Structure 1
Amino acid sequence: MQKLSSLLLLAAISTPYAQAEGWYGSSKLNSTRQNLSSALLTSPRVTHQIDAPDSNKAFTGSFAAGYAFAEGWRLEGEYTTRNSSTFDAYWAPFNANVNRLEVDSQRLMLNGYKNIPLNDWLSFYGMAGVGVAQIDTEGYQGNPNRQFASNRQYNFAYSVGLGLDAKVSEKLTLGTGWRYVDMGPVETGYNTFVNRANAKDEQLKGKLKEQNVFFEARLSF
């Protein structure tokens, strides 16, 4: 194991980065898992949470255009297509009623990458990104006739990740990786239904986070 580690380190130091400088386009297929943390039902009458929202899994796509600089640096703009997630929660004393939060999200990000070559065709990279997420929320309590008002918001989003690239030809690079995305707090509008207090004082809230395992194809121009 020590000998293998030494060989990989030597390869990384001695091998020039394989990607040519210039413009490129890429597409990703993302296996996405969204989570809603810090979930809240804002109502003066709730006492505690009985069952928390679960995570939601889906496949999404993303498309990017960027520029590869010297020394393995890249900068790109990326759009990630719409993803729809549903989260159910139960709260005392309303434990007989589900509180369903439905979230649609899409985002536009500016990503930076640093590739570290392992040999003349394989490289490891780290990445980070910042951008904006458009998030649409709605939901209901008990049944679809008891709606919370819908809401659209634009949140600051950030991401960090790791990956592995394989240069197939002078123009084509294939890769795989993982990233974490934080899209910030989300909330519905207030209840449109009549509650026990005859008041507009309930809404659903949480913090939307996402993990991607992705496959990427990148084409240099």
Structure 2
Amino acid sequence: MLVLLSSPASPFGRKVKIAASVLGLLDDIKVENTSTTNPEDSLRRQNPLGKIPALILDDGATLYDSRVIIEYLDHLAGGNRIFPEGEARFAALRNQAMADGMMDAGILQVYEKRFRPAEYRFPDWQAYQAQKVERALKVLEDTPPAPVGAPADLDVGTIAIACALGYLDLRFNGDWRASCPRLTGWIDGVEQAVPIFAKTRLPAQPVAEIPEPLR
């Protein structure tokens, strides 16, 4: 059985879980919570970068990061299931890149508050990361993804976008919603249509109540 090393709060781990569910593979994967901050955790042996998610294969080899894992799962499911064919593939990959960047920028903002003493924090750095998220949200609000009526409507790009918005809800109180009504309607539709998205949703926890996942 495949083993996914992750954390409930990891947006990248959530991305893999949703992809696995859409592909019908979730029951073939054992999910194990792991600690990115514990040097004794086996994660650092399985992924030298010490990041999650990581997928341990039947032969003991490990795949990382989320983009590689998702492509591998799509391959197991027969290929081109959540990766569109033709030109549409590149739009989906671009959306995944933008959404992954949003998640990275959000995590870096949280790290600035969590790991750096207040007197050494850099407001300009936090603003720089926040502006990445704001620009991406504007693009998505201006041209939101097509409505999702069933899990099969998702592709690699929209899965990533959903997880990015979910992370903003988790760590930033969903403040983005006030300026993005169209995008809010889209993500609310995803939650209703995709059971695994609702199942993997955590209550809002702004800043630091559980250890922050590393990608």
Write 1 or 2 for the structure with the bigger share of strand: 1
- For normalisation by structure 2, the TM-score amounts to 0.19
Write 1 or 2 for the structure with the bigger share of helix: 2
Structure with the bigger RCO (C-alpha within 8 Å, sep 6+) is 2
**Higher Rg of the two aligned structures:** 1
- For normalisation by structure 1, the TM-score amounts to 0.19
